[in-house]
Amino acid sequence: MDLFVVYRPPPLRANGLKTSDFFDDWSIFLDAYIPNSRDILITDDFNLHLDVPDNPDVIRFNNLLDVHGSKQHVNEPTHILGHTLDLFIARDSSRLLCDAVAVVDPGLTDPSGNYSGGHFAIVALLNFIKPSRQRKTVTFRKYASINLTDFKTGIRTALKTCLPHNDAASLEIYTRACSDTIDLHAPLNTSRSHSTRHSMVYKRTVACKNPSKKA
């Protein structure tokens, strides 16, 4: 499963963002990832009023989802001012959702107990099994711990052993001597650890200082 978290800053005169630029990037994103065979989920704050279906931007947004065989599953306000800004999108054919997406108040407050959250939380029960962590073996050398004086002495000794030989033989002897010197001063170490799958990030952003989340 691929999970994408998308935050769209609201277009303001201060940040110079345009809704048309968002739709260009959004269309490119959907073209790139929706056709893949893996299950896909897209969520976060899009700063579109999905609860106003006749809004031109909302119509365009929903049309793009329809064209790409996808559906938005949040059907109630996600902001304290009453608009649906935070979305949860999956393919029409997806079986990941076990039940309807719920919107809940996380009850966020500041140290004084005053309500501090502008957005509600989206909760969804998904039908998938977390993949097991794989173990991997890593080999490494501690080059930083090498005593440079001793290492240089070892290299000089290796050079002396090459002098009586022809070029080909000298190169082979020198290479082996250098390898032995490295093994002596920075032996190969082996470590086993759990591998971590790094998220692939689609990053095409417009610079924006302190974007505000307005309803």
CA dist 125 and 109 (Å) reads 26
Q: Are the beta carbons of 199 and 67 closer than 8 angstroms? A: no
* pLDDT of 81 over the 50 cut: yes
Q: What is the DSSP string of the chain?
A: -EEEE---PPP-TTTT--HHHHHHHHHHHHHHHTTSSS-EEEEEE----TT-TTSHHHHHHHHHHHHTTEEE---S--BTTS---EEEEEETT---BSS--EEE----B-TTS-B--SBPEEE--B---PPPPPEEEEEE--GGG--HHHHHHHHHHHHHHHTTS-HHHHHHHHHHHHHHHHHHHS--EEEEEE--PPPP--------SS-----
Bridge partner residues of 71 (DSSP): 90
Highest mean pLDDT: which of 73-82, 158-167, 175-184, 190-199? 73-82
Out of 46-50, 90-94, 188-192, 200-204, least confident range: 200-204
Out of 64-78, 106-120, 135-149, 193-207, least confident range: 193-207
Out of 35-39, 89-93, 146-150, least confident range: 35-39
Global pTM reads 0.62
Higher pLDDT, 12 or 135: 12
Q: How confident is the model at residue 67 (pLDDT cuts 50, 70, 90)?
A: very high
Mean pLDDT of 86-104: 91
CA dist 215 and 212 (Å) reads 10
Rounded to the nearest integer, the mean pLDDT of the chain is 83
Mean pLDDT of 173-192: 85
* pLDDT of 115 over the 90 cut: no
CA dist 215 and 118 (Å) reads 9
* pLDDT of 105 over the 70 cut: yes
Mean pLDDT of 5-10: 93
The closest of 35, 26, 36, 61 to 202, measured between CA atoms, is 26
pLDDT at res. 87? 96
Q: Are the beta carbons of 175 and 162 closer than 8 angstroms? A: no
Mean pLDDT of 2-27: 93
pLDDT at res. 61? 97
105 alpha carbon, distance to own chain's centre: 27
Token pair in block for residue 3: 């999970």
* pLDDT of 178 over the 90 cut: no
Residue ranges of domains in the chain, CATH in brackets = 2-123 (3.60.10.10), 135-194 (no CATH)
